[in-house]
Structure 1
Amino acid sequence: MTNQPLTRRRTLALTGSTLAIGLAGCLGDSTSPSANNDGDGSTQGDANQDGSDSDDHDHDTDHTLGHPEEHIEVTMESDDDVHHFVPHVVHVEEGGTVTWVLDSGVHDTVAYHPENADLLPSSTERRIPDDTNPWASDVYDTAGETFELTFEGEGIYDYTCTISGHGHRGGNHHGGGHHSGDQTHESTGMVGRVIVGDPDLDPDRQPALRSPSDELPEAARHELEQFNHQTRDALQEH
């Protein structure tokens, strides 16, 4: 008989300015679709500023930006000192759901928003639509644990992992974080994006499409700039 990891699920609905939270428990296998989307649907590793490839494992996916889906899974992965949300960028329908599944390591998923400044001291900028509330998951350390959000509002939502190399949140609760020199997963480029529906690509309406703040770690800024190129290329084609 195969032992299955206990999965803890938290479900939220992002609707305008409201946030509904529900909890449920279930059993399920941890999964790892291992994917990194480019705007044209191709899959390839991320390049660091020095031209090296930050990915040392295959990223394959059937998901193509520009073709929103009802439900998508994103795995949270660690491999030595490399940390990823996989796929990095996903596209769901209005009312669609994203489920983050812990594959390996210790991770969380936290939206870029001033209200999350205590968890994410490197930046207090908003990178989700103006009329939506932010999310901040629990810290997950058991393979198979999940965090689920339903996105009712069209838009572009950026998020990151706040965990430090010691397995704690990098915010003020543990005295660590970007400012104290304790490297967080965000500082290694562990950021992600959810595109919902067919959003307006005007940065005045979509804060995520603005150039990232200089307060963010360099690797995170690099990834978010790449997301902006991918998003514009994919959505302008459809």
Structure 2
Amino acid sequence: MLWFVGLGISGFKSIPNEAIDVLSKADMVYLEQFTSPISKSDLTKIKKATKGEFRPAKRWLVEDGNEILENAKKKKVVLLSYGDPYIATTHIELRERAIKEKIKTHSIHASSSLTSMIGECGLHFYKVGRIATIMSEMKSLTTPYYVIYKNVIEGNHTVLLLEFNQDKDFFLDPKDALNGLLETEKGQRRKVISSSTFAIVASRIGFKDQEIVSGKISSLKKRDFGKPPHTVII
């Protein structure tokens, strides 16, 4: 059996009661942290709630999926992830593979930072267009640039997720993301982004120290946004 369980967005305290019960009865619990970092204190609490074997799961292990599926054929296995298990993850593909291999699957949903963030920013979710990710390498910014371009034409907001590298403990700073978009504009010249473009930076949504800042890119570039995770909305 394979459980897909969401942690929610506010740390261990936001985990559904049903999920706590599942963790205590599972033979193996995989925790993936490559979509968003999890604090050491929350990690300790998760380990204490887990009675079976606990394993941190790297991106390659989850995307490959073979080990997880093989164990799920004989044991009760949980794949635990930040937010909701199926939003901004590759877990749907793993679930489809499990179903094809006759492995029973169950899901425990939780709040997602994406859906919560839109509401916290005072925006309507049905006005959100295609979502893109901004990486630190300049060459990769062409894709999010054209996502913004198409969303602007359609009158939609663009949610920009920022690169998080678990192995290097690296989270792309919003200022670097905005500067990268401005540099991309110089090459593409479609008048998509300028220093006068209005943007929102949403930081640590769901935590006590969450912060939402909006304004022209020219002013946002000068601001310190503190601890990650951050998301940019155009």
Q: TM-score, normalised by structure 2?
A: 0.27
Q: Which has a greater percent of helix?
A: 2
Q: Normalising by structure 1, report the TM-score.
A: 0.27
User: Which of the pair is proportionally richer in strand?
Assistant: 1
Larger C-alpha radius of gyration, 1 or 2?
2
